Amino acid sequence: MNSRKKSKQQNNETRKPRFIISGGGTGGHIFPAISIANALRQKCPEADILFVGAENRMEMEKVPAAGYPIIGLPVRGFDRQHLLSNVKTLFQLLRSMCKAHKLIREFKPDVAVGVGGYASGPLLRAAAAKKIPCLIQEQNSYAGITNKLLAAGAARICVAYEGMERFFPKEKILLTGNPVRQDLLRSLNQKEAALKHFGLKPDRPVLLVLGGSLGARSINRAVQQQLESIEKSRVQLIWQTGKYYYEDIMAANAELNNKAILITDFISRMDYAYALADLVVSRAGAGSISEFALLGKAVLLVPSPNVAEDHQTQNALALVRKGAAVMISDEEACEKLIPEALALLEQPGRLQELRSAIKKMALPHAAEHIADEIIKLAKI
């Protein structure tokens, strides 16, 4: 009996720590998850880290590219408009739950981490049922439905905004911020190289318009309709249209011959773009906002109306209330966005106020803090 106990204790001492990270669906969930995994690997190089995502979603490509194994669950979100189609969704959820329980039994993680997205639900429920400590990372100021449902079984909930007690038990909450790409900090000292890269002038303000990888229709439409006003101003424009709108926008501007207006579907050197930007126009995704705060960028936010629980509006309002951003609604963008942007660029004092306020909201070491909490839960 004593020898068996001793053998079990030795196995526990020599066993590698194991962490399982679940979630995805969008870059806003995937890239923070990868940042957390990287921080865990730095602090605990011997650890085994396994990702669990949703089949046929972005994470099944991005996670292996970052150097981590991933297993897909056949899970998808409910269609709130076509209720009959949810019969298949329920069946897939049951299959995902069975597969998640099997994964937990076989991998035997010390801690399960959920970053939001469809796969987090089945995986963290299975882990909690086996009494495995669970940590949730909520990126937005308005909690997603998956994380709200999982909160009861979580040991720790890491958040990016104050006031999250309205969604989660106060004693479980830790304000860590959202993991962001630390390499963007290089942009703070690269203005000269950035000017050369984009071919812009140092004595004129720069407006950076971001539409995300696919693009933002209302933002693109607003810029297109007011392009003549931008040309008449001193403002230089870097306009990232997204790949979906790029060809149509280029066709509409085939005769444009203005080196101060750069149109592109994708910006490969975001660090350079940020280095030059006096004002950024963007959607209000949690990851983007965390980057703006880290870099201290003045921002004009146009929340997307096509997101769950209208969480982008809540993200933007959290900044507006602190004087850290200006917000224009999606429906008002065509009329008001560019006039407001051009007006702000004529007010250096106002831009500095916005920069100072958003910089105060930055939590630059989020991934490391979350990794520390995971390691504490694992009792390594």
| Domains defined for the chain, CATH in brackets | 14-179+364-378 (3.40.50.2000), 182-359 (3.40.50.2000)
Between CA 175 and CA 159 the distance in angstroms is 5
Confidence band of 181 (pLDDT split at 50, 70, 90): confident
Higher pLDDT, 315 or 77: 315
Q: CA 357 → CA 101, 308, 329, distances in Å?
A: 45, 27, 21
- Min mean pLDDT across 124-138, 239-253, 336-350 is at 239-253
Query: Residue 177 CA to chain centroid, in angstroms?
Result: 11
Rama region for 163: left / alpha / beta (φ>0; ψ in -120 to 50; rest): left
Q: What is the mean pLDDT of the segment spanning 345-358?
A: 98
**Predicted pLDDT at 302:** 98
In tens, the pLDDT along 282-293 reads 999 998 999 999
Q: Can you give the pLDDT at residue 89?
A: 64
Cα–Cα dist 327/284, whole Å: 9
CA distance 278 to 271: 14
Q: Which residues pair with 135 in a beta bridge?
A: 113, 156
Amino acid identity of residue 234, one-letter, is R
Tally Cβ neighbours within 10 Å of residue 204: 13
Residue 256 pLDDT > 80, yes or no?
yes
Which pLDDT score, from 0 to 100, does residue 77 have?
Answer: 60
> What integer is the mean pLDDT of 141-168?
93
Higher pLDDT, 352 or 60: 352
| pLDDT for position 299 | 98
* Closest to 143 in 3D by CA, of 180, 112, 116: 116
C-beta of residue 34 within 8 angstroms of C-beta of residue 3: no
Q: What is the mean pLDDT of residues 53-78?
A: 85
**Once rounded to an integer, what is the mean pLDDT over residues 351-355?**
98
Residue 339 has pLDDT above 90, yes or no: yes
Which single residue is written with the structure tokens 């076509």?
82
Q: State residue 185's pLDDT score.
A: 80
Q: How far apart are CA 163 and CA 225, in angstroms?
A: 39
DSSP string, 55-81: TTSTHHHHHHHTT--EEEE------SS
Q: Which pLDDT does position 19 carry in this prediction?
A: 98
What pLDDT is recorded for position 57?
78
Output the six-digit token pair for 128. Answer: 């909690």
Residue 268 has pLDDT above 80, yes or no: yes
pLDDT for residue 212 is more than 80: no
Q: What percent of the chain has pLDDT over 90?
A: 72
Mean pLDDT score, 164-190: 89
**What are the structure tokens assigned to 243, written together?**
């790949």
With a CB cutoff of 8 Å and minimum separation 6, the contacts of 130 are: 104, 105
137 vs 113: CA distance, rounded Å: 8
Q: Are strands 279-282 and 156-159 parallel, antiparallel or unpaired?
A: unpaired
Report the C-alpha dihedral over residues 276, 248, 287, 379, rounded to 10 degrees.
-130
**pLDDT (tens digit per residue) in 297-325:** 999 999 999 887 889 999 999 999 999 99
The pLDDT of 141-170, averaged and rounded, is 93
Q: How many CB atoms lie within 10 A of CB 305?
A: 12
Mean pLDDT score of the chain = 90
Q: For residue range 184-209, what is the model confidence (pLDDT) as tens digits?
A: 887 778 999 999 999 999 999 999 99
Give the pLDDT score at 10.
47
In eight-state DSSP terms, residue 232 is H
Q: What is the pLDDT of residues 4-58, one digit of tens each?
A: 444 444 445 567 999 999 987 666 778 889 999 999 999 999 999 999 998 887 8
Q: What is the pLDDT of residue 144?
A: 84
Q: Is 277 helix (H, G, I), strand (E, B) or coil?
A: coil
Determine the pLDDT at residue 303: 96
Q: What is the DSSP letter of 20?
A: E
pLDDT top residue among 75 and 144: 144
- Determine how β-strand 299-301 pairs with β-strand 279-282: parallel
pLDDT score for 5:
47
Kindly state the average pLDDT of the residues 72-86: 65
Work out the pLDDT band at 134, boundaries 50, 70, 90: very high
